[in-house]
Amino acid sequence: NMLDVVLDNKLDIDGFGACEGTLACSTCHVILDSENYKTLPEPVEEENDMLDLAYGLTPTSRLACQII
Protein backbone atom coordinates (compact mmCIF):
# COMPACT_ATOMS: atom_id res chain seq x y z
CA ASN A 1 0.00 0.00 0.00
CA MET A 2 0.99 3.63 -0.18
CA LEU A 3 2.37 3.77 3.35
CA ASP A 4 4.87 1.12 2.34
CA VAL A 5 5.88 3.26 -0.61
CA VAL A 6 6.41 6.21 1.69
CA LEU A 7 8.53 4.15 4.05
CA ASP A 8 10.44 2.52 1.20
CA ASN A 9 11.39 5.93 -0.07
CA LYS A 10 12.41 7.05 3.41
CA LEU A 11 10.51 10.26 3.03
CA ASP A 12 10.02 12.65 5.87
CA ILE A 13 6.35 12.17 6.57
CA ASP A 14 5.94 15.04 9.01
CA GLY A 15 2.87 16.89 7.85
CA PHE A 16 2.14 14.26 5.25
CA GLY A 17 -1.27 14.78 3.69
CA ALA A 18 -1.73 18.25 5.15
CA CYS A 19 -4.63 19.18 2.88
CA GLU A 20 -6.38 15.82 3.32
CA GLY A 21 -6.36 14.98 -0.33
CA THR A 22 -7.79 18.17 -1.79
CA LEU A 23 -4.78 18.92 -4.00
CA ALA A 24 -3.94 22.07 -2.05
CA CYS A 25 -0.50 21.05 -0.80
CA SER A 26 2.35 18.83 -1.89
CA THR A 27 3.13 17.20 1.43
CA CYS A 28 1.96 13.85 0.11
CA HIS A 29 4.57 13.84 -2.68
CA VAL A 30 5.93 10.35 -3.23
CA ILE A 31 8.51 9.05 -5.66
CA LEU A 32 7.46 5.77 -7.22
CA ASP A 33 9.53 3.20 -9.00
CA SER A 34 8.84 3.17 -12.72
CA GLU A 35 6.97 -0.16 -12.56
CA ASN A 36 4.43 1.24 -10.11
CA TYR A 37 4.28 4.57 -11.90
CA LYS A 38 3.30 2.93 -15.17
CA THR A 39 0.32 1.17 -13.62
CA LEU A 40 -1.31 4.45 -12.60
CA PRO A 41 -3.65 6.68 -14.58
CA GLU A 42 -2.21 9.99 -15.73
CA PRO A 43 -2.25 12.78 -13.13
CA VAL A 44 -4.91 15.41 -13.65
CA GLU A 45 -3.86 18.99 -14.34
CA GLU A 46 -4.38 20.04 -10.72
CA GLU A 47 -2.07 17.30 -9.51
CA ASN A 48 0.61 18.33 -11.99
CA ASP A 49 0.28 21.93 -10.83
CA MET A 50 0.93 20.89 -7.23
CA LEU A 51 3.71 18.51 -8.24
CA ASP A 52 5.50 21.44 -9.82
CA LEU A 53 5.77 22.90 -6.32
CA ALA A 54 6.91 19.68 -4.66
CA TYR A 55 10.41 19.49 -3.29
CA GLY A 56 12.63 17.09 -5.23
CA LEU A 57 10.24 16.50 -8.12
CA THR A 58 11.16 13.50 -10.27
CA PRO A 59 9.72 11.98 -13.47
CA THR A 60 7.97 9.33 -11.37
CA SER A 61 6.63 11.66 -8.69
CA ARG A 62 2.96 11.57 -7.73
CA LEU A 63 0.80 12.97 -4.99
CA ALA A 64 -0.09 10.00 -2.85
CA CYS A 65 -3.55 11.27 -1.95
CA GLN A 66 -4.52 10.97 -5.62
CA ILE A 67 -3.40 7.40 -6.10
CA ILE A 68 -4.38 5.56 -2.91
Residue (11 or 19) nearer to ligand FES, CB: 19
Letter for the amino acid at 53? Answer: L
State the residues that interact with ligand FES by CB under 6 A: 17-19, 21, 23-28, 50, 63, 65
In contact, 29 and 55? CB cutoff 8 Å: yes
Dihedral angle, C-alpha 56, 9, 23, 52, nearest 10 ° = 20
Letter for the amino acid at 61? Answer: S
We find the least distance from the C-beta atom of residue 52 to ligand FES, in angstroms, to be 12
We find the least distance from the C-beta atom of residue 33 to ligand FES, in angstroms, to be 20
Residue (18 or 36) nearer to ligand FES, CB: 18
